[in-house]
A and B are shown apart, each in its own frame.
Chain A
Amino acid sequence: MDQLSLLFEGFAAALTPMNLLWVVLGALLGTAVGVLPGLGSAMAVALLLPITFSLDPTAAFIMFAGVYFGGLFGDSTSGILLNTPGNSSAIAATFEGHRMAKDGRAAKALATAAIGAFVGGLIATTLVVFFAPTLVKMATAFGPAEYFALAVFAFLAISSVVSESVVKGLASLGIGLVLAMVGVDGPSGTVRYTLNIPQLFDGISIVVITVGLLALGEVLHIAGRIHRDPVAQKIETKGKVRLNGTDFRKALPAWLRGTGFGVPFGIIPAGGSEVPTFLAYGTEKRLAKRRGDKEFGTTGSIRGVAAPEAAGNATAGTAMGALLALGLPTSATAAIMLAAFQQYGMQPGPLLFERSGELVWTLLASLFIGLVVLVIMNVQFAVLWAKLLYIPRHYLYAGITVLSVLGVYAISSATLDLWVLLLVGLLGFVMRRYQFPLAPVLIAVVLGPLAETELRRALTVAEGDASILVSSPMTIILYSVLAIALVVSAVQHIRHRRERREEALAAANGVVREPEPETGVQPVMAGSRADSGADSNASSGTGSSAPDDGR
């Protein structure tokens, strides 16, 4: 096999003791910036660029590979432990991960996330090695109409996260849409909701919203209840710290499902890794409900961590493929990597493999090495990191506040961001107080602008002719699946209600009848309406609004 021998040559070039030192350095740095909220691997690579001018290309690439994936390994760590995702790609893994941490299974959650990131990255990178040109063709099948269909699909598919109260869920969604709308509107140049503050012209960064809502909101919430909740108890570590066979059996299918979501999204330049992570999370949640999994949404499900993490890293893996084979930077980090390649005279694009094949295979080999180093490092660190939770609450939350503010300030060194952070934090506090779910806000922030821009692009290109939205096979398939799922869930909902009415009737008539188990009749694609009635293990976004929250 041609690719295989080329790849081995790449490994031969990359595997020297000095290069291993560089990859460890890159992995450490990447993990560190990933852990800190706001600082992403994009910034780390940008800051490293001038330094690597003096390195030889192989050493530089192998270090970049460590940083590139390291950021994605690190971002879920702070999310799981502190409910403060280091990056938007870790939001979805935070929901269940933080619950696991509260349940005393932090180390397991961290290890699951690390291995998930490894599995996702490994599969995606392998696909890139063998199928890069084929994968790239997929990207060109996507026009604005397809993106819009995808966004609508994702909105509804994820809306199962909107549970409990439909009204509250929709209100949260609305808040998110408003936050996402701030800034200069791309297609028309119109300034929206900026109060004439120039710093808001580029909109509110999703990092500010995430950190404010999840981290600062949580800190305020805990502070607000400090004398009402029982005195903090230390979380006892439950069971074995390491993953055991049962855990693996549970997590493995979830890792693979997550990877399945992540792989296609790396290639298409929209939405980044947030959409697939949320899709993966939504799927796990639905599966958990069908299975009657009581852990999901309460004590934290290992699957709910595994799938989004794998999805996030799978996206990063194929994004690298799209960058190399088409010259398409589908993420901020990839855009900076593009600059890095150019500095060594490589121009990513259709001619790259011909022109600088040797370097490309070295880089691909470096990605594999980076992944292996990172998974070893992070699984070892998991136990150590988990001990962070033993820090007394007042120190821990003070630390979270400092890290949040620092991370947000790092984005663009603007004090205005800090004020916005504070406001969003207060919003998060109020929403927790009145038990509004937080996840829909974040979903709206991610998907809202995508849906809006693509809809308008599609209509502009077609000069207002709405039929363009259903003019390609891809859109027709997506909408059909959506329609079928909605019909199925509606039918099941009605049947479910009728059964209940019959039961009530039967009970009134004095006939004894075995009740159906609730979990067997959950809809495949749960719309928010179908969910509201029968959600037995309802969640409220992050779970932190539950009163039994005290440590």
Chain B
Amino acid sequence: MSSRTVKRTILGVAAAGVVGLALVNAASDGGEATARAKLVLMAPAAPGGGWDGFARESQQAIKAGGISNNVQVVNVPGAGGTIGLGQFAQMEGRSDMLMVTGGVMVGAVELADSGVSLDQVQPVARLADDYAALVVPADSEFQTLDDFIEAWKQDPGGTSISGGSLGSIDHLLTGLVAEEVGIDPADTNYIAYSGGGEALTSMLSGTTVGGMSGYNEVADQVEAGMLRALAISSEERLPGVDVPTFKEQGVDAVMANWRGLAAAPGVEGEELTELMEIVDEYRQTDEWKDSLERNSWTDSYMVGDEFEAFLEDEIERTQEIVEGLGL
């Protein structure tokens, strides 16, 4: 054992450590700068989560359009995004940051009851939506939404529905539909799964009667004839998707899983306008249009006062549903 080998080994370990450090911290530092020079996108989810994907698609579009010189994504995972929201609410006046937010966060805030709320940050824009659908296994006896609702009314407990975690769009929509058709949402038998994949197998294995799931997550299974989609939560039928809406079948349940961006508290005036301009510029890039298509997101661009009003309505409606579900 020569001392040279020892040195080399130590060097190797040190190098590995540095690589690790670099990986970890590549995105998490950063002083204040103008958003055009350096922009930090906070994804309040783990790498690979839904908001992480949204943040990274945005990053690509901003880079490709040369809209900001340096864009980074920071992940702050935890508790449906409320951990990230809590941290972001502390970043008073950071005009070089945007946080990804969305319908799931509204539900999580109501559920977590941890003292943070979306009022504490500055809404910027809503960018992309997708919708949830009620699906049943292909061999299910239910052919239409009416069949399903009839059975559901007769036995709300026995008609179990699987979907994402509590407070997710899947869960809220289940409550909303129940309310609309005259079932007490608190009587519904909702089986929460932590991910779309797990909820999907629960349906395929015949564990639950139906499932509420983001349509994009089950689109292929529907197309392959493994699942049947009874209704989708969009306002109108989506182009290229042969699934009737809840609304056209007489159930007034329209709910979007929207994604948007918010700025830190205290960012206003010119700084806020600048951020809005950045968002407006990147949503017009070809890369962003590709992203929308690739993810089957519906462009739901909304900015400023319009978005703020929408958010207020959304929070109010979510509070009502959460209360109805007895959480």
Q: In chain B, residues 105-142, which have Cβ atoms closer than 8 Å to a Cβ of chain A?
A: 111-112, 114, 116
Which listed segment binds A: B91-99, B202-210, B230-238?
Answer: B202-210
Report the bound CA distance from A198 to B197 in whole Å: 26
**B53 interface residue (CB < 8 Å to A):** yes
| Contact indicator B112/A201 (Cβ below 8 Å) | yes
Q: Among A140, A335, A413, which residue has its beta carbon within 8 angstroms of that of B24?
A: A413
Partner of A198, one of B1, B79, B157, B223: B79
Chain B residues closer than 8 Å to A339, beta-carbon distance:
48, 53
Complex contacts, B17 vs chain A, CB 8 Å? 36, 402-403, 406
On whether the beta carbons of A412 and B76 are closer than 8 Å, the reply is: yes
Interface residues of B in 41-77 (CB under 8 A from A): 46-48, 52-53, 56, 59-60, 73, 75-77
Taking a contact as CB atoms under 8 Å apart, the answer to whether B47 and A43 are in contact is: yes
Contact between B158 and A410, CB atoms less than 8 A apart: no
A224, B208: Cα distance in complex, Å: 54
Residue of A nearest to B116 (CB): A198
Which residue from A198, A269, A461 sits with its C-beta under 8 Å from B189? Answer: A461
Q: Does B33 count as interface, using CB distance less than 8 angstroms?
A: no
Q: Which residues of B contact A143 (CB under 8 A)?
A: 202, 205-207
13 A–B pairs (Cβ distance < 8 Å), ordered by A: A42-B47, A43-B23, A139-B201, A142-B201, A143-B205, A184-B112, A327-B197, A327-B200, A335-B195, A335-B197, A339-B48, A391-B9, A412-B77
Q: How far is the CA of A184 from the CA of B192 in the complex (A)?
A: 12
**For chain A residues 13-63, which have a beta carbon within 8 Å of chain B?**
32-33, 35-36, 39, 42-47, 49-50, 53
- Min C-beta distance of A238 to chain B, whole Å: 15
Answer yes or no: A463 CB below 8 A from chain B CBs.
yes
Asked if A50 and B59 sit within 8 Å, CB to CB, the answer is yes
Interface centre among B52, B205, B206, B219 (most CB of A within 10 A): B205
Given A42-B48, A143-B207, A413-B28, A463–B20 Cβ distance below 8 Å? Answer: no
- The answer to whether the Cβ of B221 comes within 8 Å of any Cβ in the partner chain is yes
6 more A-B residue pairs beyond the given contacts A142-B201, A189-B166, A196-B114, with a C-beta to C-beta distance below 8 A: A39-B24, A199-B78, A269-B201, A388-B13, A391-B6, A461-B207
Contact check: which of A42, A142, A351 meets B224 at CB < 8 Å? A351
Distance from B151 Cβ to chain A, minimum over Cβ atoms (Å): 15
Among A381-396, those with CB < 8 Å from B are 384, 387-388, 390-391, 395
Q: Which of B20, B82, B205 contacts A33 (CB 8 A)?
A: B20
A409 contacts chain B at the CB level, 8 A cutoff: yes
Segment of A157-165, A342-350, A359-367, A517-525 engaged in the interface with chain B: A342-350
B7 smallest CB distance to A (angstroms): 10
Q: Which residue of A142, A342, A387, A403 is within 8 Å of B205 (Cβ)?
A: A142
Question: 8 Å CB contacts to B: which residues of A368-414?
Answer: 384, 387-388, 390-391, 395, 399, 402-403, 406-407, 409-410, 412-413
Contact residues in B for A189 (Cβ distance below 8 Å):
111, 166-167, 327
Question: Which residues of chain B from 206 to 234 have any CB-CB distance to chain A below 8 Å in the complex?
Answer: 206-208, 219-221, 223-224, 226
Q: How far is the CA of A526 from the CA of B277 in the complex (A)?
A: 67
Of listed B13, B75, B224, residue having the most chain A CB within 10 A: B13
Which one of B17, B157, B221 has the highest number of Cβ atoms from chain A below 10 Å of its Cβ?
B17
Contact A32 B207 (CB under 8 A): no
CB distance B56 to A457 under 8 Å?
no
Q: Is A134 an interface residue (CB 8 A)?
A: no
User: Are B191 and A332 touching (Cβ within 8 A)?
Assistant: no
Q: In whole Å, how far is A275's beta carbon from the nearest beta carbon of chain B? A: 15
B48 vs chain A, min Cβ distance (A):
4
Q: Which residues of B contact A345 (CB under 8 A)?
A: 294
Q: Chain A residues with Cβ under 8 A from B86's Cβ?
A: 198
Q: Inside 8 A of B26's CB, which chain A residues have their CB?
A: 47
Within 8 A of B (CB), among A197-213: 198-199, 201-202
Once A328-B197, A329-B197, A335-B195 are accepted as A-B contacts, the answer to whether A390 and B6 lie under 8 Å apart by CB is yes
Shortest B6–chain A CB gap in Å is: 6
**Assuming the A-B contacts A50-B60, A198-B78, are A457 and B20 also in contact, with contact meaning beta carbons closer than 8 angstroms in the complex?**
no
Residue among A144, A268, A391 making CB contact with B10, cutoff 8 Å:
A391
User: Which residues from chain A sit less than 8 Å from chain B, CB to CB?
Assistant: 32-33, 35-36, 39, 42-47, 49-50, 53, 139-144, 184, 186-189, 196, 198-199, 201-202, 268-270, 327-330, 332, 335-336, 339, 342-343, 345, 347, 349-352, 384, 387-388, 390-391, 395, 399, 402-403, 406-407, 409-410, 412-413, 457, 460-461, 463
Pick the contact of A387 from B1, B16, B114 — CB < 8 Å?
A: B1
- Whether A349 contacts B207 by the Cβ 8 Å rule is no
Known: A42-B47, A46-B48, A189-B111. A350 touches B226 (CB 8 A): yes
The reply to whether A461 and B160 contact each other, CB–CB distance below 8 Å, is yes
B167 cross-chain contacts in A, Cβ below 8 A = 189
Closest to B79 in A: A201
Complex: chain B residue closest to A355, CB-CB:
B220
> In the complex, A406→B13 CA distance in Å?
13
Nearest-CB distance from A344 to chain B (Å)? 9
A532 vs B78: C-alpha distance when bound (angstroms):
42
For B56, the chain A residues whose CB sits under 8 A away are: 49-50
User: Is B226's CB under 8 angstroms from A198's CB?
Assistant: no
Q: Does residue B241 face the partner (Cβ distance < 8 Å to A)?
A: no
Q: How far is the CA of A143 from the CA of B219 in the complex (A)?
A: 22
Contacting pair B224 A349 (CB below 8 A): yes
Contact of A406 among B21, B160, B295 (CB under 8 A): B21
The distance in angstroms between the C-alpha atoms of A349 and B205, with both chains bound, is: 16
Q: Which residue of B lies closest to A335 (CB)?
A: B48
Q: How far is the CB of B53 from chain A (nearest CB, A)?
A: 6
Given A140-B205, A339-B48, A412-B78, A460 contacting B226 (CB threshold 8 A)? no
Output the nearest chain B residue to A328 by Cβ-Cβ distance: B197
Q: Chain A residue with minimal CB distance to B5?
A: A387
B residues less than 8 Å from A144 (CB atoms): 202, 207
A121, B317: Cα distance in complex, Å:
49
> Taking the complex as formed, is B146 at the interface, i.e. its CB lies under 8 A from any CB of chain A?
no
Docked Cα-Cα span, A241 to B251, in Å, equals 71
A45 to chain B, nearest CB (A): 8
Residues of A within 8 Å of B192, CB to CB, are 186-187
B23 and A399 form a contact (CB under 8 A): no
Pair B23/A33 contact, Cβ less than 8 Å? yes
The yes or no answer to B19 lying at the interface (CB within 8 A) is: yes
CB distance from A237 to the nearest CB of B (A): 9
Once the chains bind, are A410 and B24 in contact (CB under 8 Å)? yes
Q: A35-B16, A335-B48 are in contact. Are A387 and B6 (CB under 8 A)?
A: yes
Q: Nearest 9 pairs between A and B by C-beta?
A: A46-B47, A349-B220, A350-B224, A336-B48, A201-B79, A143-B207, A140-B204, A410-B24, A189-B166
In the bound complex, CA of A330 to CA of B193 (Å): 13
B320 at the interface (CB under 8 A from A): no
CA–CA, A407 and B83, complex, Å: 20
Q: B197 and A186: CB pair below 8 A?
A: no
A32 contacts B294, C-beta separation under 8 Å: no
- Given contacts A335-B48, A461-B160, is CB(A351)–CB(B220) below 8 Å? yes
Known: A189-B166, A335-B195, A387-B6. A328 touches B16 (CB 8 A): no
Contacts of A35 in B (CB 8 A): 16
